[in-house]
Structure 1
Amino acid sequence: MINYDKNIFNKIKDWNKDNIHILTDFDRTLTIGSSESSWGILSSGGFISPEYREERQKLYKKYRPIEIDETLDFDTKNKLMIEWWNKHINLLIKYKLREETIIEATKDIKVMKFRDGAVDLLGYLYENDIPV
């Protein structure tokens, strides 16, 4: 992460594949708020078993209200979001999520609604071998 300073634009000019890596998530960062989340796409598209979807929904009902609760302090929310993440990753392992499933689930680019400029940014980064 770069802290803003007066010389930021001079620094950006010098970025290339050897001195920058982009770290981002997609869900509501590169995509708009009403877009389906990556986990939601796997669940709603029927790409993983009904048992996975049922367990995932239980986690969602428990943790989603916490995620959007603006009254929780950072440490409490962070701890619980990490807990949710780990439990969900364990579900994906339990139900044997495979790379082919992710490819199939994301074939239709319409399922994720990207923010203005996000697709161009990702294309630029890809064309210039800048890791994301």
Structure 2
Amino acid sequence: MKMSPKTIRLKELPFLNEQTCKIKNPEKLEIQLNELVSGGPAKLQIVSDFDHTITKQRTSNGTACATSFEIFSSCKSLPSNYTSESKKLFNKYHPIEIDPSIPLKEKVNHMIEWWSKTNDILVGFAFDGKELDDVAIKYKDCLRDRSDEFFEILDKLDVPVLVFSAGLGHSVESVLKQANVYNDRVKVISNFLQTKDGLVNGFKHPIIHTFNKNETVLVESDYSSLVHDRDNIILMGDSLGDADMANGVPSSSNIVKIGFLFHHVNENLEKYMDTFDIVLIDDQTMNVPIGLLNLIKN
């Protein structure tokens, strides 16, 4: 006779009772976690941002971890005008992206501007993708602590992972491969370069920025075939816009949203707690996602 699963109680989960872990609605989360456990691995999928979500927001010495575009910019063969203009755009628009005082609608307009201007400077030069693999080796340790364990558990449980990134897909895939966590059940939806006459010619469309990730996921039919009956979702992101990455799934889906908060903590905490079920403050590990997976697999 099969035993009924033990009821999950938040107070019994040390990884959700750390000072860095904030939960606005414990009762709701408790119900969600029990649904995850009841459904088991066969009903689970992961939807995650990449930059500063799968990768750390800072290193142990406090410096920021490189984004996927910054990794690309580290390639020595890129023309100097691209790297200098790309840095100017980052310095102008990134502060806007993380500024809690700027309304969302205004941010969206700035993000469209940023990605459009980036598209314009990604034109007319040759690029060898093998160089990116060589560069990515240097950045594989930027993944959150215990990321290898996180992906290993998912692989053993046959749980599909959608990595949904507004960054550069070539860098995302390359870093995941160099870190030995990329496999057939990991799907990257991101901005990928296209070529014309052997030269880079901007992004393939549609262009994905921080606040429109939810608009393209369902067109990926090959990924959809992996998850059509998986209505339990663990979603992870570091931006408020990331919380919408699973928009478009059936309304009956059970979505546990994890938000990694690092910038402007005091100003952003309330918004993050209103948006995410679990908010992790300056947590550079995969401890909480692994804790959830361990509940589901047991």
Query: How many residues are aligned here?
Result: 125
Identity %: 27
Tell whether 2:55 aligns with 1:31: yes
Distance of aligned partners of 1:71 and 1:120 in 2 relative to their CA distance in 1, 3 Å threshold: same
Tell whether 2:35 aligns with 1:7: yes
Tell whether 2:46 aligns with 1:43: no
Larger-Rg structure: 2
119, 123, 132: which is aligned to 2:148?
119
Give the deviation of 1:125 after TM superposition: 4.4
- Residue range with higher mean Cα deviation, 69-78 or 41-50: 41-50
Q: Distance in 2 between matches of 1:94 and 1:15?
A: 45
- Residue range with higher mean Cα deviation, 62-71 or 40-49: 40-49
Q: Distance in 1 between matches of 2:111 and 2:72?
A: 19
Give the deviation of 1:107 after TM superposition: 2.3
Q: Describe the superposition over 1:72-118 as per-residue Cα deviations: whole angstroms up to 9, x where unpaired.
A: 111221232233233324433444444323222212245x5221222
Equivalent residues in 2 for 1:94-109 (5 A)? 94-109=124-139
Distance of aligned partners of 1:48 and 1:24 in 2 relative to their CA distance in 1, 3 Å threshold: farther
TM-score by length of 2: 0.36
Equivalent residues in 2 for 1:36-75 (5 A)? 36-75=66-105
Q: Describe the superposition over 1:33-85 as per-residue Cα deviations: whole angstroms up to 9, x where unpaired.
A: 12111111222453422111111012112201201211011122123223323
Distance of aligned partners of 1:67 and 1:41 in 2 relative to their CA distance in 1, 3 Å threshold: same
Distance of aligned partners of 1:94 and 1:123 in 2 relative to their CA distance in 1, 3 Å threshold: farther
Unaligned stretches of 5+ in structure 2?
A: 1-27, 59-64, 159-183, 188-298
AA aligned opposite 2:67: S
AA aligned opposite 2:106: T
The answer (yes or no) to whether the contact 2:54–2:143 under 8 Å persists in 1 is yes
Aligned to 1:83: 113
TM-score by length of 1: 0.71
Q: If each structure's strand is expressed as a fraction of its own residues, which one has the higher value?
A: 2
> Structure with the greater relative contact order (CA < 8 A, sep ≥ 6): 1 or 2?
1
The answer (yes or no) to whether the contact 2:86–2:118 under 8 Å persists in 1 is yes
The answer (yes or no) to whether the contact 2:74–2:135 under 8 Å persists in 1 is no
Q: Distance in 1 between matches of 2:40 and 2:123?
A: 39
Q: Distance in 1 between matches of 2:40 and 2:127?
A: 38
Q: Distance in 2 between matches of 1:89 and 1:53?
A: 13
Tell whether 2:131 aligns with 1:131: no
C-alpha RMSD over aligned residues? 2.9
AA aligned opposite 2:105: D
Q: If each structure's helix is expressed as a fraction of its own residues, which one has the higher value?
A: 1
Q: Distance in 2 between matches of 1:56 and 1:62?
A: 10
79, 82, 92: which is aligned to 2:122?
92
